Amino acid sequence: MSQVKRVLIVGSGIGGATAAYALRRAGVDVHCIDIKPGIPSAGSGICLLHNTVRALDMIGLAEPCLDSGMRFDAFRQFDSSGQLLRSNPAPPSCGIRRPELARILESAAQGAGAVLDKGLTIEHLDDRGDCVEVKFSDGREAAYDLVVAADGAYSKLRDQVFGAECRPRFAGQSVWRFNAPRPAQIDGFCLYRSPSGKTVGSFPTSEDSCYLFYLENSAEPLRVPEDQAKAMIRERLAEYTAPAVLEALEQVTDARQVIFRPLDITLVPAPWYRGRVVLIGDAAHSPTPHMTSGGGMAIEDAVVLADCVSRTRSVNEALAMYSERRFERCKTICDASLQLCRYEQEDPLKNREKSAALLLKTYQYLGQPF
């Protein structure tokens, strides 16, 4: 029987909420906290690739996610006018709005008995060897057998336990994101490439909605005033005449609809634990979005961590098994995502075939057991 009886999860995002549910299914008492006060009402799209759907199915959550999104199995490339250049079959996937996925995962965790505290942070943490003593920002104190850092790429808990050398670095690209009503043409994972090499990507997030993103190269992280985001994204996509892109842009009527973020990446060296504190999701590995796998790998992490806890007796044995099962797989995805980013930075038109081949090859890799 596992020695892990009580777990604290820091961060209730995709990885944290999945871990909360998976660990409750394994019979562990779960306390999950998040600095944010509630589920975000806005957010970008998430692509649940075939491996992610498989992971969700392992814990009984695939169907509600599939029912709330839109399934697709095609990868298409277009020019900037919307002319189809290439169409390939892709592994079965599902697009879903991030807030909807968050709602499903948090509801499942709470329904399984996990305690979720929002608007709460750690004030002090002390790993005493036989347990981790924690003092919270509201003055409460508690002890746990295991603490899971699921607080994202800029994880404060990771910095505290692993050191600042694991902080993310800029990848040389930024991403513009927005949601829009779904044009009929966007029925799979679609890339629109302009003559100058710009790339707009999109996939459906429901029968009625889709998610679009535009990647922009820069030597240093760009700074975009929020009130100028609408005008700036229209200016950057001015050479596109593809009806699907134009229709989506017409729906951007407020700068707050546009999400802009420099792409910061990290891959923490193995092992992903120190004592009784372990990393999952973006806290351990934050890739560029080119493989649309960040959220999916966090879900895999959570499922594997719960499996390792249930299979082993000691905390150290569980965390060693988890790190061994996850590191090389996540590194492969991070490396592929970064290489796709480099292809875009070097010469996206010249490297178009290389990018497509690497994308499809890595999709196949994701189909392997984890």
The ranges assigned to domains in the chain are 6-70+97-169+265-347
Give, in order, the Cα–Cα distances in Å from 13 to each of 84, 176, 348. 36, 21, 33
Give, in order, the Cα–Cα distances in Å from 53 to each of 63, 65, 66, 331. 9, 8, 8, 20
State which fold the 6-70+97-169+265-347 domain adopts.
Answer: FAD/NAD(P)-binding domain (3.50.50)
Spell out where the chain has E strands.
Answer: 6-10, 29-34, 45-48, 70-79, 84-97, 115-118, 122-127, 132-136, 141-144, 146-149, 169-181, 189-193, 199-204, 209-217, 259-267, 273-274, 277-279, 285-286
Q: At what angle do helices 14-25 and 98-111 cross, to 10 degrees?
A: 30
pLDDT digit string (tens) for 113-139?
999 999 999 999 999 999 999 999 999
pLDDT digit string (tens) for 182-219?
999 999 999 999 988 889 999 999 999 999 999 999 98
Higher per-residue pLDDT: 174 or 1: 174
Q: Rounded CA gap, 255 and 137, in Å?
A: 34
3-class DSSP assignment, residue 268: coil
> 42 pLDDT exceeds 70?
no
pLDDT at 208: 95
pTM recorded for the entire structure = 0.95
